[in-house]
Copies of this chain bind each other. A is one copy, B any other.
Amino acid sequence: MAEEETPAPAPVTSADVARLAGVSRATVSFVLNGTPGHRVGEPTRARVLDAARRLGYVPHAAARSLRAGRSNLVLMPASVSAIGRLVSEWVDDLYGELERHGYTAVLHAGRFADPVDAARAWAELRPAAVIALDGDRLTAGAADLLRRAGVRGVLAFASGPVEGVHTVGFDHARIGAAATEHLIARGRTRIGVVLPRERGLGALARPRLAGVESVAARHTATVTPVELAYTRESATGLARRWRGLDLDSVFAYNDEYAALLLHALRAEGVAVPDEVAIVGSDDLVLSGLQQPALTTIRLELPAPARIADAVHELIETGGAAPVPAMEAVLVHRRSS
């Protein structure tokens, strides 16, 4: 399928456009990038646009932002696989809303142990704003670095306020808490909590576990973390040693892990919900179709347009109106 490549020619520059149009580079920059302090007549403008079109010249967003002192880039740090089925359409819609405001949205997938290292890598691209889905990893120091680099807005989904960040309430602990309140109301007292082994999910799983623990502590229920990789082998292994764990219920991180564990338990003859009640999260389409149908948590996220408006406001004015927090609503079905 691969063919021989021709060596890359020298890129077309604004100097080439200037030469072809018979004008100065400053004039080209004025016409194409909107740099201030310059006036040109309509025929000159037309000549520049025609030359740019004929040469296939594309203005450089970075050069434009360097001159204008403004970028139109909105950066969202996140790994693709951690986004998950539920949030992926929401993210796509958010990208669409940002485009409507004239921004270019990009996802930055770099992995960093230190929040300031992460902020430095994002700042190198000089975005106008950063939207952090996993805002509990943002620190005041990271936000400060971003601001010093000219990032005008930082919006983050986080469980609590972060200095210099416009936070939207998004507390994973509430998901675990809602599941646990339901299980305890159904008479269950020995609660397992699935911790996914997949990388990138630990940061989301730990607060869910903490939410389970805080509710269980108020009701003298026990909490047992159980590790599970998203593979048949791991689920089968867990199902085989299930009865030894002596648990009457499990909060399974999300609906995908819940469905995986449900099928593995049934294959080993463990009765759901009689022997073990299962609660997932995210209310995926498939959850209601499992046998038995999965009890789950429905996450009500703020409208993408609302987030895009807040980001635009942050960029334009440095502040924005509060955005309503995420809600976690239990959906009771047959698995609990």
| CB of A95 closer than 8 Å to a CB of B | yes
- Chain B neighbourhood of A169, CB < 8 A: 1
User: B1 and A168: CB pair below 8 A?
Assistant: yes
Interface residue tally of chain A, by bracket?
A: 35 or more
Q: Does A5 contact B (CB under 8 A)?
A: yes
Q: Mark A96-118, 1 if CB is under 8 A from B, else 0.
A: 10010000111111110000000
Interface residues of A in 255-296 (CB under 8 A from B): 256, 259-260, 263-264, 267, 285-286, 288-291
Q: How far, in whole Å, are A91 and B83 apart by their CA atoms in the complex?
A: 12
**Nearest-CB residue, chain B, relative to A169:** B1
**A80, B91: Cβ atoms under 8 Å?**
yes
User: Is A121 an interface position by the 8 A CB rule?
Assistant: yes
Give Cα A120–Cα B325 distance, bound, in whole angstroms: 37
Residues of B within 8 A of A91 (CB): 80-81, 109
What are 19 residue pairs bridging A and B, where the CB atoms are less than 8 Å apart in the complex? Answer: A1-B158, A2-B166, A2-B167, A2-B168, A5-B318, A9-B147, A12-B148, A56-B144, A56-B148, A58-B148, A59-B124, A60-B66, A61-B124, A62-B66, A66-B66, A96-B111, A104-B108, A256-B286, A263-B290
Task: Tell me the A residues contacting B by CB distance below 8 Å.
Answer: 1-9, 11-12, 55-63, 65-66, 73, 75, 79-81, 83, 85, 88-89, 91-92, 95-96, 99, 104-111, 120-121, 123-126, 144-145, 147-150, 152, 158, 160-161, 164, 166-169, 200, 230-232, 256, 259-260, 263-264, 267, 285-286, 288-291, 314, 318-323, 325
Extra 11 A-B pairs, beta carbons < 8 Å, given A91-B109, A99-B111: A1-B160, A1-B325, A2-B322, A6-B164, A56-B149, A58-B120, A58-B124, A60-B66, A73-B125, A85-B85, A99-B110
